[in-house]
Structure 1
Amino acid sequence: MSTGRRAPLDRKRVADTALRLLNEVGLDGLTLRAIAKELDVKAPALYWHFKDKQALLDEMATEMYRRMVAGTALDPADTWQERLRKSNHGLRGALRGYRDGAKVFSGSRFTGIEHAEQMEDSLRLFTAAGFTLAEAVRATSTTYLYTIGFVTEEQGVEPLPDERREGFDVEERARLMSAFPLTAKAGAEIFADYDRHFAEGLELVIAGIEARYGRA
């Protein structure tokens, strides 16, 4: 009989297990019962740590953020445009590492204040560039929301990198919509080459910020 002791059940262990299971079953299949089975405990044991599934999602989003920023340092020489590019490309990359990653992250509330350090640094960079605090918040939150929305739609087609959901055949879509030639042709722009699509869209948002606030 094994004499090894099982690791204690704590919030981090539950969140780590939930994130691992997320890539297998997706958000809809991620139940407290499934997580408890993976941990070899009874489901009520999880309620000592999380009152409901949303509380668990909040911790999962926080752990995703911790992993995303671990070992990364902000460059004080960044322009505000460079900071927006780096942070949002980094966020997209992190979210795409999890099935339904954007859905988990969207609407969740961090359970700690780990994000405050990078947020403070970015807001300081923006205000030093001439933005008011309100303008800085609007610029950073708008690009953030763009990224969350983009990845949510992207993962509806490609749940994970190099995995394409059934039913999103661009050529078949074009055939079905042949009576609407522009719409049919647009499918190749909407449902393919997401890296380019994201980068171009982000540049449009940044250009809009420059134009709106006159902060070139």
Structure 2
Amino acid sequence: MATRIDRAQVAETALRLLNEVGLEGLTLRRIAKELGVQAPALYWHFKNKQELLDEMATEMFRRMAGSLRDVDTGTWQGFLAGSARVVRDSLLGYRDGARVFSGTRFTDTGYASPVEEMMQVIVEAGFTPKAAARAWFTVNTYTMGYVIEEQSVYPVPGGERDPAYELAERALRLEDYPLAVEAGEAFFNDLDAGFEEGLHAVVAGIEATLLPPSARGSAGSSPGVE
């Protein structure tokens, strides 16, 4: 009797295999083998790899949605920063997680409710809906871009640093370029601290450029990021 599979099984299997083989090694043939079916069986559900990535990203968001709803809404700055940390932590749980998640399209409307709630928090702080959307999009793209970079330094979740990013060796190669060496220390040394510093700058920039001046006095100040 043939094994019956559905979209959810394929996406879950793909996410599990992602940590083993990475995005480049994740093929429909490899997933089919793991499921014990022939590769053509997957084409009933996904026409190509991009459709599979869309479903994987949708499942990733489903898994992080509960944590996003638990973020403290005491200040809009803290809420944006806390949401960014949830996204980052989630993406870091998958090898190439940020590359899979970025640039994909959700395959259902399940994202709409948590996004509506997130937008509501920011709008109630005094942002216009358009500015609230821009604020969230800016924080989100900063987070995904940062995670893409840090996953090049530590490709496997919980794994070792890629030798290409060993800072002592890099400093020797660039000994005639002291500022480039200093930049590398800032980029690739303490990735947690680097994320927080950049996040603080992004949130402060959002306050300075997107929050109406009339709302700044009552909405809190940038230290709410902490």
Q: TM-score range by the shorter chain?
A: over 0.9
User: CA–CA distance in 1 between the matches of 2:94 and 2:72?
Assistant: 30
> What residue is the counterpart of 1:167 in the other structure?
164
> What residue is the counterpart of 1:22 in the other structure?
18
> What residue is the counterpart of 1:79 in the other structure?
75
> What residue is the counterpart of 2:224 in the other structure?
none
* Structure 1: 5+ residue stretches without partners: none
> What residue is the counterpart of 2:202 in the other structure?
205
The Cα shift of 1:84 comes to 0.5
The Cα shift of 1:71 comes to 6.3
User: CA–CA distance in 2 between the matches of 1:144 and 1:125?
Assistant: 16
Q: 2:192 aligns with which of 179, 189, 195?
A: 195
The Cα shift of 1:116 comes to 1.0
User: CA–CA distance in 1 between the matches of 2:7 and 2:66?
Assistant: 19
Give the fraction of aligned pairs with identical amino acids, expressed as a percent. 52
**4+ aligned runs moved over 6 Å, structure 1:** none
Are 2:103 and 1:107 aligned?
A: yes
User: CA–CA distance in 2 between the matches of 1:84 and 1:71?
Assistant: 13
User: CA–CA distance in 1 between the matches of 2:163 and 2:37?
Assistant: 35
The Cα shift of 1:122 comes to 1.6
Higher RCO (C-alpha under 8 Å, 6+ residues apart): 2
Aligned pairs for 1:64-75 within 5 A: 64-70=60-66, 73-74=69-70
Q: 1:37 aligns with which of 8, 33, 37?
A: 33
* Structure 2: 5+ residue stretches without partners: 222-226
The Cα shift of 1:13 comes to 0.5
User: CA–CA distance in 2 between the matches of 1:13 and 1:177?
Assistant: 48
The Cα shift of 1:56 comes to 0.3
User: CA–CA distance in 2 between the matches of 1:203 and 1:157?
Assistant: 22
Structure 1 length normalisation: TM-score? 0.92
Aligned residues: 212
Deviates more, 1:205-214 or 1:9-18: 205-214
Per-residue displacement from partner, 1:127-149 (whole Å, max 9, x unpaired)? 21111111001100000000010
Residue 82 of structure 2 aligns with an amino acid whose one-letter code is: K
Residue 21 of structure 1 aligns with an amino acid whose one-letter code is: L
User: CA–CA distance in 2 between the matches of 1:28 and 1:52?
Assistant: 14
